[in-house]
Amino acid sequence: MPSQRTLRTTVRFEGHGLHSGCKTRLVLKPAPPESGIFFRRVDLSPFVSIPATADYVVNTRFSTTVAAGGCAVSCIEHLMAALYATGLDNVTAEVDGPELPVMDGSSLPYVLGILRAGTVLLSAPRKYLVVTRPLLVAAERARISIHPAPFLRISYTMRFRHPAVTTLFRCYDSRRENFFTEYVPARTFGFLAEVEALRSQGLLAGGSLENALVFGDEGVVGGMKMRYGDEPVRHKMLDLAGDLFLAGCRVMGHIRAYRSGHHLNCRLVRQMLARTDCRMFTEQPEGESLPDPGSGLGAAAIFK
């Protein structure tokens, strides 16, 4: 029976938020069994704790934001994907501002920091959410569904009307592919034509060519090299893995996503939690939805 896991020791990160541009310090700390993933705003007095679950999601425009007691933490998805990928179940994430650091636009810096700190097993069984009947949520020109499967599989189709980025499809199967080397390093992306529009709305204040792939009509601008030929779709799948972890535990099922973003991802997670007739929790899954945390060192070797 798989056990829950936490950090061996504290790990610190520092950087600017993508949208606010504010410098933020993030400290990840070990947490006891059954405590889950929590954010704690330590710049406020008294501290405000916010559980990292779908019930606390208040905004999904451009990133995923959780809030409680009138206080929010935004851009949590890349950290959530890193916690998912490194097998962590219980972590307290102390942050001194409203937006997590964007780092290099991927989950790689978080994963490397976590692997350096190390992880430890706890004497409590890990819980899994297993889908027993299909669930679908849809919006205009986008949809996402989950179907019963004894492992995690994500089939994702991304579609843009842009000369450099059009339709991309990719399938992740937790039994066959290494999440660390194939998804964790995939960076966030945007389009040159939209950058100025977002800046005029006060967004992207911390955005730069160091933390996002920006596409012009001819391809990536600023001489940035793509880490994969299909890096944008891999990043959408990384975002999805992070949002999926807002179920409060790991999910088993086959996800089929078409143009799904944070809004639909979080709606699907809420459905999975609410529809007790379509899912169950188990401590003894047939398969495992996680790669071996040690294999993350492969990603370090490739992109350091």
- Give the footprint of Zn ion on residues 189-248 (CB under 5 A): 239
Active site (annotated) includes residue 262: yes
User: CA–CA separation, 258 vs 278, rounded Å?
Assistant: 21
- Closer Cβ to Zn ion, 89 or 239, answer by number: 239
Give me the phi and psi of 193, to 5 degrees please: -65, -25
Q: How far is the CB of 235 from Zn ion (least distance, A)?
A: 6
Span of 169-177, 184-192, 222-230, 288-296 interacting with Zn ion by CB under 5 A: 184-192
- Closer Cβ to Zn ion, 90 or 188, answer by number: 188
As a whole number of Å, the CA-based R_g of the chain is 18
Span of 170-178, 180-188, 216-224, 286-294 interacting with Zn ion by CB under 5 A: 180-188
CB-based contacts of 1, cutoff 8 Å, min separation 6: 125, 126, 283, 284
- Closer Cβ to Zn ion, 74 or 188, answer by number: 188
CB-based contacts of 235, cutoff 8 Å, min separation 6: 106, 186, 187, 188, 189
Q: How far is the CB of 260 from Zn ion (least distance, A)?
A: 13
The residue within the footprint of Zn ion, chosen from 188, 211, 265, 271 (CB under 5 A), is 188
CA atoms within 13 A on the CB side of 130: 16
Span of 2-10, 169-177, 186-194, 295-303 interacting with Zn ion by CB under 5 A: 186-194
User: CA–CA separation, 268 vs 144, rounded Å?
Assistant: 7
Residues 137, 245: contact at Cβ < 8 Å?
A: no
- Closer Cβ to Zn ion, 66 or 131, answer by number: 66
Span of 17-25, 123-131, 145-153, 181-189 interacting with Zn ion by CB under 5 A: 181-189
Q: How far is the CB of 148 from Zn ion (least distance, A)?
A: 28
User: CA–CA separation, 100 vs 303, rounded Å?
Assistant: 22
Q: How far is the CB of 17 from Zn ion (least distance, A)?
A: 13
Residue number closest to Zn ion, CB atom: 239
Q: How far is the CB of 103 from Zn ion (least distance, A)?
A: 11
User: CA–CA separation, 128 vs 137, rounded Å?
Assistant: 21
Give me the phi and psi of 155, to 5 degrees please: -105, 120
- Closer Cβ to Zn ion, 126 or 262, answer by number: 262
Give me the phi and psi of 154, to 5 degrees please: -125, 115
16, 19, 78, 262: which one is catalytic?
262
Q: How far is the CB of 273 from Zn ion (least distance, A)?
A: 22
Instruction: Report residue 130 as tokens.
Output: 């297993």
Sign of CA dihedral 12, 108, 254, 139: positive
- Closer Cβ to Zn ion, 50 or 76, answer by number: 76
Q: How far is the CB of 223 from Zn ion (least distance, A)?
A: 22
> Binding-site residue total for Zn ion (CB under 5 A)?
2
Spell out the long-range contacts of 218-224 with Cβ–Cβ below 8 A and sequence spacing 24 or more: 218/163, 218/164, 219/164, 220/164, 221/192
Q: Does 99 engage in binding with Zn ion (CB under 5 A)?
A: no
- Closer Cβ to Zn ion, 188 or 289, answer by number: 188
- For Zn ion, the binding residues (CB under 5 A) are 188, 239
What residues are labeled active site? 262
